[in-house]
Amino acid sequence: MVSQAKIRILCVDDHPLVHDGISFALQFQRDMELVGSASNGQEAIDQFRRLLPDVTLMDLQMPGTGGLEALEAIRYEFPKARIVVLTTYSGDVRAARAISAGAVGYLLKSSLRTELVRTIRDVHQGLRCIPPQIAASLAQRYDVDDLTDREIEVLRLVAAGNSNKLVGDHLSITEETVKSHMKNVISKLRARDRTHAVQIAMQRGFLALP
C-alpha cells in the first residue's frame, strides 16, 4: 500500500550520469519511486504505455526519436500525462516547443540537485513549473528569435560547410536569396557572423548538437 502512494517517476535520458544522478536523488525521497528509464524517444513511449508513471522526466536531445517527438506522441495518447522537460540550455528552442506541446515543467540539468524534488512534487500536484525568467525568455524567443523552416534549412547547410552558392544550388534558390536568409538569421540570433550564428543555433536547439 505504501508503494502505491508514492509518486511514480519515469526518467528518459541517454546520458548515464544524468540518469544515475536522478536515481540517486530519488532514492532518499520516501514519497517517490523511480519505476523505469529510457534512453531514447521510442523507448520512452513504450515505457510510458507499460508503466503509466505519474511524472516523466524527458530529455529533449536523444538519438533516434527525440524527446519532443516522444512528448507529442505520449500527450496525444495520454492527454493528462505530466511531463517535465530536461535541458542543458535555458533558451533551448526545443524546450519552448515542448512547453507549447503540453509539457508542464522545465528543468535545467544544472539545477537538478536543487530543483528536482520540488519540481516533481509540484508537477504531481497539478502545478506548472516554469521559472519566471525562463518563461519570459521563451515568450521573447517566440516573438523575436524564431527562425522559419527555410532559414533553418539554409543554416543547416551553412553549418555543414557549404558556400552560399552550394546552398542555393542544393535548395534551388539564388545565391542572393541565400544571403538574404543568412542576413535574417544573423539578425534574429543577434550573431556576429555566420559561424557565431551556427554556434548560437546549436545552443538554442535550432540545429542538433554534433
Q: Does 210 reside within a domain?
A: no
- Which of 141, 166, 191 delimits the end of a domain? 141
* pLDDT (tens digit per residue) in 108-137: 888 888 899 999 999 999 998 886 656 665
Could you give the 3-state DSSP secondary structure of residue 181? Answer: helix
Amino acid 1: pLDDT: 39
Q: In this structure, are 163 and 120 located in the same domain?
A: no
Name residue 37's beta-bridge partners.
Answer: 11
Of 23, 28, 30, the residue nearest 7 (C-alpha): 30
Of 192, 193, 82, 191, the residue nearest 204 (C-alpha): 191
Q: In this structure, are 127 and 194 located in the same domain?
A: no
Q: CA-CA distance, 91 to 85, in Å (whole number)?
A: 13
Residue 175 and residue 168 in contact, taking contact as beta carbons nearer than 8 Å: yes
Q: In this structure, are 120 and 159 located in the same domain?
A: no
Q: In this structure, are 43 and 96 located in the same domain?
A: yes
User: 36 φ, ψ to 5°?
Assistant: -170, 170
* pLDDT (tens digit per residue) in 20-65: 999 999 999 999 999 999 999 999 999 999 999 999 999 988 888 8
- Which of 100, 115, 141 delimits the end of a domain? 141
